[in-house]
A = this chain, B = another copy of it.
Amino acid sequence: MNFDFHTISEPTLLLKAGIAIKQIARMSEKAQKNGVIFRPHFKTHQSAEVAEWFREFGTTKITVSSLAMAEYFAAHNWRDITLAFSVNPRQIKTIDALAKKIKLNLLIENTEVAESLVSHLKSQAGIFIKIDTGYHRTGLPWDASEKVLKLIKIIENCPNLHFKGLLAHSGHSYKSTSKEQILKVYDATVERLTNLKSNIEKSYAKDFILSIGDTPCCSIVEKFAGIDEIRPGNFVFYDVMQYQLNACTTEDIALTMACPVVAKHESRQQIVIHGGAVHLSKDSLLINNKIKHFGLVVPLSDDEGWGEVYKNSYVCSVSQEHGIIQAENELFESTQIGDLVGILPVHSCLAVNLMKSYITCEGTKITIPHL
């Protein structure tokens, strides 16, 4: 830790680069060992600099969640990008321009958009069909093989479109409360996708892949049998949500928000920090299915960045700029007005997106664009 905390006067997102690099190493090695394609989602870090850490481990294929993000990473020399968001027909012109420059994979889930691509896309693009494996957010149901085949037919009849495979995001893994439940979501996802694949192969002869995405499953599962590609994103930094899901430990969390203490209220044993909804987001979790919180508390330390999480303290409310910590005795007594405390964010993707920059514990400031 070479970073001087004295320079921090406002909410500041700190990054343990070593932890993030360890997660990248671990996930890419796991993918390699299993013989699956590692196509990490870059929506969590949103940074060309962090992206280079992935490149060190051999990553060449990536996933993004918006066209603007695809353009940003394309401008930083990423040449094989899956835009894992159902094609927005109003963006086809811009998509076309990008597909001319790089290997771009798109996501579709209905004939309307497939036909719109057939009519308007002049460049070549890979196409994934989004499959709903139980999350019920987007995609064709896993048992709708006729509908999937109809889409494949539309794609195959167009010389610019190339069917790449079936893509799922089992976001319902986020509703799990144990590793066993996450594994069950994974097993069901693979079973549903492989069944669908078998059905399709009865009338479609070419090769195509199965791609899955969520960080909880990709973190917990050791053997990726039956699927061909993983697209986790959040694992690079993790957060309290993943910790509460048992997808990581608190030591795996690479980000903390350093927040100045502006007041203490003895009667409620609460600490008021500068650090609110415009820094941490309003994403919340429950402790023991009861107590809503917006982040956990860690002590900042000059040598290691930050230390172990306080077991009985949490951010109990946030407004635009304020956060209120419900503090245990030790934290309350040892914290003075003017100190900094660390808040492990509930959702690192949203905290990064709000802050637009983070500082490594070595003192390097990483700034991300407003996409």
Interface residues of A (CB under 8 A from B): 8-10, 43, 65-68, 85-91, 94, 109-110, 112-113, 116, 136-138, 141, 171, 260, 262-265, 267-268, 272, 274, 277-278, 281-284, 317, 319-322, 324, 336-338, 340, 347, 349-350, 353-354, 356, 370
The reply to whether A88 and B260 form a contact with Cβ atoms under 8 Å apart is yes
CA distance A274 to B137 in the complex (A): 12
The reply to whether B272 and A277 form a contact with Cβ atoms under 8 Å apart is no
The reply to whether B272 and A320 form a contact with Cβ atoms under 8 Å apart is no
CB A318 to nearest CB in B, in angstroms, measures 10
Contact of A109 among B9, B137, B138, B263 (CB under 8 A): B263
CB A82 to nearest CB in B, in angstroms, measures 14
- Known contacts A66-B321, A337-B89; decide if A272 and B43 are in contact (CB<8 Å): no
**Chain B residues, Cβ within 8 Å of A138:** 262-263, 265, 272, 322
Among A68, A87, A320, max chain B CB count under 10 A is at A320
**Chain B residues, Cβ within 8 Å of A282:** 281-284, 347, 350
The reply to whether B319 and A86 form a contact with Cβ atoms under 8 Å apart is no
CB A270 to nearest CB in B, in angstroms, measures 8
Contact of A320 among B265, B320, B321, B349 (CB under 8 A): B349
**Chain B residues, Cβ within 8 Å of A109:** 263
Report 27 cross-chain contacts, Cβ distance below 8 Å, ordered by A residue. Answer: A9-B88, A10-B66, A10-B91, A65-B320, A65-B321, A85-B321, A85-B322, A86-B262, A88-B260, A89-B337, A110-B337, A112-B337, A113-B338, A136-B268, A137-B319, A138-B262, A138-B265, A171-B319, A277-B281, A277-B283, A278-B350, A281-B281, A281-B282, A282-B347, A282-B350, A320-B353, A370-B370
**Chain B residues, Cβ within 8 Å of A347:** 282
CB A167 to nearest CB in B, in angstroms, measures 14
CA distance A85 to B279 in the complex (A): 15
The reply to whether B281 and A320 form a contact with Cβ atoms under 8 Å apart is no
The reply to whether A317 and B263 form a contact with Cβ atoms under 8 Å apart is no
Among A94, A138, A267, max chain B CB count under 10 A is at A138
- Known contacts A136-B268, A274-B85, A370-B356; decide if A113 and B262 are in contact (CB<8 Å): yes
The reply to whether A262 and B85 form a contact with Cβ atoms under 8 Å apart is yes
Among A68, A340, A350, max chain B CB count under 10 A is at A350
Q: Which residue of B lies closest to A340 (CB)?
A: B90
The reply to whether A350 and B320 form a contact with Cβ atoms under 8 Å apart is yes
CB A14 to nearest CB in B, in angstroms, measures 15
The reply to whether A10 and B278 form a contact with Cβ atoms under 8 Å apart is no
**Chain B residues, Cβ within 8 Å of A260:** 88-91
**Chain B residues, Cβ within 8 Å of A90:** 8-10, 260, 338, 340
The reply to whether B277 and A338 form a contact with Cβ atoms under 8 Å apart is no
Q: Which residue of B lies closest to A281 (CB)?
A: B282
CA distance A30 to B128 in the complex (A): 58
Among A171, A263, A274, max chain B CB count under 10 A is at A263
